[in-house]
Chain A
Amino acid sequence: MRSRIPQLIATLFLIALLAAPQLFKRLGSHPDAAAVGNTASGPDLNRYGFRLQEVAHAAGIDFTHQAPKLDPKLDHIMPEIASMGAAVSVVDFDRDGWPDLYVTNSGEGSLNHLYRNQHDGTFRDVAAQMGVADVNKDGTGVSMGAVWGDYDNDGYEDLFIYKWGRPELFHNDKGKRFSRVTDTAGLPQWVNSNSAIWLDYDRDGKLDLFLTGYYPETVDLWHLKDTHMMPDSFEYAQNGGRKYLLRNMGNGKFKDVTAEMGIDSHRWALATTAADLRGTGYPDIFIANDYGVSEIWANQNGKGFKEIGKQALYWNKARNIGPKSGMNANCGDVLNRGQFAVYVSNITENGLLMQGNNLWVPQAGTSGDNLKYDNLAGPTGVENGGWSFGAQFGDLNNDGNLDLYLTNGYVSAAKKESYWYAFTTITGGNSAIISDAKNWPPMQGRSLSGYEHKHVWLNDGTGSFSDVAQAVGVTDTYDGRAVALADFWNRGALDVAVATQRGPFLLYKNEVTPQNQWTEFTLEGAKSNRSAIGAQVRLFWNGQQQLQEVSGGNGFCAQNERRLHFGLGKHPKIEKAVIRWPSGQVQTLQDIKIGQENHIKEAV
Chain B
Amino acid sequence: MPEQTLSAPPTSAPSAPDAPPLVPPEVLEAERAVPAAADSKANSGLGWEPAPKPGTAARGGFDARYIAPIFITLILLVGQFSFGVLESLPQTLLAIAASMVTEIVLSRLMTGKWPHLASAYVSGISVGILIRSPYFWPYALCSMIAIASKYVIRVKGRHIWNPSNFAIVMMLWIAWDQVATLSQQWDNRFWAMAIIWTVGSLIIWRLKRFHICATYVVSFLAFGLVRSLIEHQYYVTEISPITGPMYQLFIFFMITDPKTTVRPKWGQCAVAFTIAAVEAVLRLNSNIHLSVHAPYYALFIVGPIANLIEIWYTSRRNRPSSDSPVPVVATA
- Which residues between 425 and 447 of chain A lie within 8 Å of chain B, taking CB atoms? 425-434, 438-442
**Residue A378 interfacial (CB < 8 Å):** yes
Is B237's CB under 8 angstroms from A440's CB?
A: yes
Give chain A residues whose Cβ lies under 8 Å from the Cβ of B175.
21
Which of B9-17, B183-191, B302-310, B314-322 contacts its partner?
Answer: B183-191
Is B234's CB under 8 angstroms from A318's CB?
A: no
**Residue A20 interfacial (CB < 8 Å):** yes
**Residue A586 interfacial (CB < 8 Å):** no
**Residue B288 interfacial (CB < 8 Å):** yes
Is A323's CB under 8 angstroms from B84's CB?
A: yes
Q: How far is it, in angstroms, between the C-alpha of A378 and the C-alpha of B241 when the chains are bound?
A: 29
Is A354's CB under 8 angstroms from B190's CB?
A: no
Count residues on chain A whose CB falls below 8 Å from chain B CBs. Answer: 57
Give chain B residues whose Cβ lies under 8 Å from the Cβ of A467.
none
* 0/1 string, A390-430, CB within 8 A of B gives 1: 00000000000000000000000000001011001111111
Given contact pairs A235-B185, A236-B187, A354-B132, A320 touches B88 in the complex (Cβ within 8 A): yes
Which of B62-70, B143-151, B205-213 contacts its partner?
Answer: B143-151
Is A430's CB under 8 angstroms from B190's CB?
A: yes
Q: How far is the CB of B322 from chain A (nearest CB, A)?
A: 29
Is A431's CB under 8 angstroms from B189's CB?
A: yes
Q: How far is it, in angstroms, between the C-alpha of A419 and the C-alpha of B189 when the chains are bound?
A: 26
* 0/1 string, B286-318, CB within 8 A of A gives 1: 001101100000000000000000000000000
Q: How far is the CB of B167 from chain A (nearest CB, A)?
A: 9
Residue on B nearest A356 in the bound complex, by CB = B134
Give chain A residues whose Cβ lies under 8 Å from the Cβ of B180.
349-354
Is B243's CB under 8 angstroms from A439's CB?
A: no
Given contact pairs A233-B187, A317-B89, A351 touches B179 in the complex (Cβ within 8 A): yes
- Which residues between 1 and 49 of chain A lie within 8 Å of chain B, taking CB atoms? 6-7, 9-11, 13-14, 17-22, 24
Give chain A residues whose Cβ lies under 8 Å from the Cβ of B221.
none
**Residue A303 interfacial (CB < 8 Å):** no
Given contact pairs A10-B152, A314-B84, A439-B240, A17 touches B141 in the complex (Cβ within 8 A): yes
Q: How far is the CB of B33 from chain A (nearest CB, A)?
A: 14
Is B183's CB under 8 angstroms from A424's CB?
A: yes
Is A17's CB under 8 angstroms from B145's CB?
A: yes
**Residue B276 interfacial (CB < 8 Å):** no
Q: Chain B, interface size: which category?
A: 35 or more
Contact partner, A21, options B134, B141, B190, B244, Cβ 8 Å = B141
Q: How far is it, in angstroms, between the C-alpha of A445 and the C-alpha of B124 when the chains are bound?
A: 41
Is B184's CB under 8 angstroms from A234's CB?
A: yes
Is B288's CB under 8 angstroms from A418's CB?
A: yes
**Residue A157 interfacial (CB < 8 Å):** no
* 0/1 string, B34-51, CB within 8 A of A gives 1: 000000000000000000
Contact partner, A319, options B90, B177, B292, Cβ 8 Å = B90
Is B241's CB under 8 angstroms from A428's CB?
A: yes
Is A10's CB under 8 angstroms from B109's CB?
A: yes
Is B237's CB under 8 angstroms from A354's CB?
A: no
Q: How far is the CB of B35 from chain A (nearest CB, A)?
A: 14
* 0/1 string, A480-510, CB within 8 A of B gives 1: 0000000000000000000000000000000
Give chain A residues whose Cβ lies under 8 Å from the Cβ of B30.
none
Q: How far is it, in angstroms, between the C-alpha of A378 and the C-alpha of B283 when the chains are bound?
A: 32
Is B110's CB under 8 angstroms from A10's CB?
A: yes
**Residue A383 interfacial (CB < 8 Å):** yes
Q: How far is the CB of A137 from chain B (nearest CB, A)?
A: 35
Give chain B residues whose Cβ lies under 8 Å from the Cβ of A20.
141, 174
**Residue B83 interfacial (CB < 8 Å):** yes
**Residue B31 interfacial (CB < 8 Å):** no
Q: How far is it, in angstroms, between the C-alpha of A438 and the C-alpha of B234 when the chains are bound?
A: 8
**Residue B85 interfacial (CB < 8 Å):** yes
Q: How far is the CB of B103 from chain A (nearest CB, A)?
A: 12
Is B134's CB under 8 angstroms from A384's CB?
A: yes
Is B234's CB under 8 angstroms from A429's CB?
A: no
**Residue A232 interfacial (CB < 8 Å):** yes
Give chain B residues whose Cβ lies under 8 Å from the Cβ of A317.
80-81, 84, 89
Q: How far is the CB of A171 from chain B (nearest CB, A)?
A: 44
Q: How far is the CB of A16 from chain B (nearest CB, A)?
A: 9
**Residue B133 interfacial (CB < 8 Å):** yes
Given contact pairs A22-B174, A233-B187, A319-B88, A425 touches B240 in the complex (Cβ within 8 A): yes
Q: How far is the CB of B243 from chain A (nearest CB, A)?
A: 4
Contact partner, A427, options B86, B132, B183, Cβ 8 Å = B183
Is A431's CB under 8 angstroms from B183's CB?
A: no
Contact partner, A350, options B87, B137, B176, B234, Cβ 8 Å = B176
**Residue A97 interfacial (CB < 8 Å):** no
Residue on A nearest B93 in the bound complex, by CB = A318
**Residue B193 interfacial (CB < 8 Å):** yes
Give chain A residues whose Cβ lies under 8 Å from the Cβ of B236.
429, 433, 439
Q: How far is the CB of A453 from chain B (nearest CB, A)?
A: 14
Residue on B nearest A9 in the bound complex, by CB = B109
Contact partner, B185, options A9, A21, A233, Cβ 8 Å = A233
**Residue B172 interfacial (CB < 8 Å):** yes
**Residue B28 interfacial (CB < 8 Å):** no
Q: How far is it, in angstroms, between the C-alpha of A233 and the C-alpha of B243 when the chains are bound?
A: 12
Q: How far is it, in angstroms, between the C-alpha of A204 and the C-alpha of B80 when the chains are bound?
A: 43
Is B178's CB under 8 angstroms from A14's CB?
A: no
Is A354's CB under 8 angstroms from B83's CB?
A: no
* 0/1 string, B208-248, CB within 8 A of A gives 1: 00000000000000000000000001101110110110100
Q: How far is the CB of A387 from chain B (nearest CB, A)?
A: 14
**Residue A121 interfacial (CB < 8 Å):** no
Q: How far is the CB of A357 from chain B (nearest CB, A)?
A: 10
Q: How far is the CB of A67 from chain B (nearest CB, A)?
A: 24
Give chain B residues whose Cβ lies under 8 Å from the Cβ of A236.
83, 185, 187-188
**Residue A250 interfacial (CB < 8 Å):** no
**Residue A279 interfacial (CB < 8 Å):** no
Residue on A nearest B190 in the bound complex, by CB = A430
**Residue B94 interfacial (CB < 8 Å):** no
Contact partner, A430, options B137, B144, B188, Cβ 8 Å = B188
A sample of 5 inter-chain contacts (CB < 8 A) reads: A320-B86, A424-B241, A431-B188, A433-B240, A441-B237
15 extra interchain contacts, Cβ-Cβ under 8 A, other than A20-B141, A351-B180? Answer: A6-B109, A7-B110, A10-B148, A14-B149, A17-B144, A24-B137, A322-B86, A350-B176, A352-B288, A352-B292, A427-B183, A431-B188, A431-B190, A434-B240, A439-B236
